[in-house]
């Protein structure tokens, strides 16, 4: 009996470590996405008239958006971290891992849109507002296809 219990513990410890790594990866990518949302929120607030346009603030948000878009995200999208694997923790649909070419293309388009925003963010409110659309389109393209609705 003692050997059975010890064997069960020995087998479960790596599983717990893997579950923690998977959960950590999901939390890291969720925090990364919140960073995207914060920067886009800066632009959206100006576009909606909820905040005054400030070229320095717009440029800082654009610079951070580019940094986030170009950051290595490979540790965030581990196999075994979909909503099926971690219900209630992850909202990423399994289709994300089945369509990596599409995901890569969306990310490349987001990087280009972020770079465009970076180039025009401090050129005036109209230029900044015009650059929001392509960013939002890429966010929506990925979320619509690969993110489940949260409860």
CB atoms within 10 A of CB 89: 15
Segment 96-150, tens digit of pLDDT: 999 999 999 999 999 999 999 999 999 999 999 999 999 999 999 999 999 998 8
139: annotated binding-site residue?
A: yes
Residues found in the chain: 151
81 in Cβ contact with 25 (< 8 Å): yes
15: annotated binding-site residue?
A: no
151 within a domain of the structure (yes/no) = no
Q: What is the pLDDT of residue 44?
A: 96
143: annotated binding-site residue?
A: yes
Sorting pLDDT into bands at 50, 70 and 90, what band is 11?
very low
What are the strands, taking DSSP E only, across 1-151?
none
Distance CA(102)–CA(115), nearest Å, equals 20
Segment 22-77, tens digit of pLDDT: 999 999 999 999 999 999 999 999 999 999 999 999 999 999 999 999 999 999 99
Number of compact structural domains in the chain: 1
Q: What is the pLDDT of residue 3?
A: 53
Indicate whether 4 pLDDT > 70.
Answer: no
Indicate whether 19 pLDDT > 80.
Answer: no
Structural domain boundaries, residue 68: 2-146
Report the CATH number at residue 102. Answer: 1.20.120.10
Q: What is the pLDDT of residue 150?
A: 82
44 in Cβ contact with 96 (< 8 Å): no
Distance CA(118)–CA(112), nearest Å, equals 10
């Amino acid at each position: 009996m003692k050997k059975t219990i010890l064997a069960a513990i020995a087998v479960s410890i790596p599983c717990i470590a893997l579950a923690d790594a998977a959960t950590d990866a999901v939390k890291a990518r969720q925090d990364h996405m919140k960073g995207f949302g914060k920067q886009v929120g800066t632009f959206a607030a100006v576009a909606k008239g909820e905040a005054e346009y400030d070229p320095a603030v717009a440029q800082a948000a654009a610079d951070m958006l580019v940094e986030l878009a170009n950051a290595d995200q490979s540790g965030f999208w581990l196999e075994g971290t979909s909503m099926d694997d971690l219900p209630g923790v992850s909202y990423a649909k399994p289709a994300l891992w089945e369509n990596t070419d599409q995901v890569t293309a969306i990310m490349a388009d987001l990087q280009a849109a972020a770079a465009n925003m970076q180039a025009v963010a401090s050129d005036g409110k109209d230029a900044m507002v015009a650059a929001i659309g392509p960013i939002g389109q890429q966010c929506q393209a990925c979320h619509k296809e690969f993110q489940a609705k949260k409860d």
